[in-house]
Amino acid sequence: MKKTAPHILNASTNLLGFCLVIITSLKITKFSHHSYLDEFTVAAIFCLTLSCTLSFLALRTEKEKLANKLENVADILFFAALLCISLAVCIVSIDVV
């Protein structure tokens, strides 16, 4: 099986920083009470944090079977975070238009 844990870790940490910027700007502008944008962003932050942790553990473990399981769960959480970010982008697009 091709190792994707390093790629998941890299992409997750980058998107986690992006989500933290979004949630900070929502709190500063007091925009969060108008929509579900902050809920989707927090869900993405939660999924990305778990994805980062699991992909890091997959890289560090010596057991191949455990590494594959951790990598698969990290991959699923990463995809869930992408869905949350996509929904957040849709909400911003609808509110802007």
Domain ranges in the chain are: 5-96
Length of the chain measured in residues:
97
Long-range contacts of residues 28-36, Cβ cutoff 8 Å, at least 24 apart: 34/95, 35/91, 35/95, 36/87, 36/91
Looking at residue 70, its pLDDT comes to 94
Q: Structure tokens of 91?
A: 């909400």
pLDDT value, residue 88: 87
pLDDT of residue 1: 53
Which mean pLDDT values do the consecutive 10-residue runs of the chain (97 residues) have? 82 91 83 74 94 94 93 96 92 74
Ordered alpha helix ranges (H), the chain = 5-29, 37-60, 64-96
**What is the C-alpha to C-alpha distance for residues 69 and 74, in angstroms, rounded to an integer?**
9
- pTM, entire model: 0.86
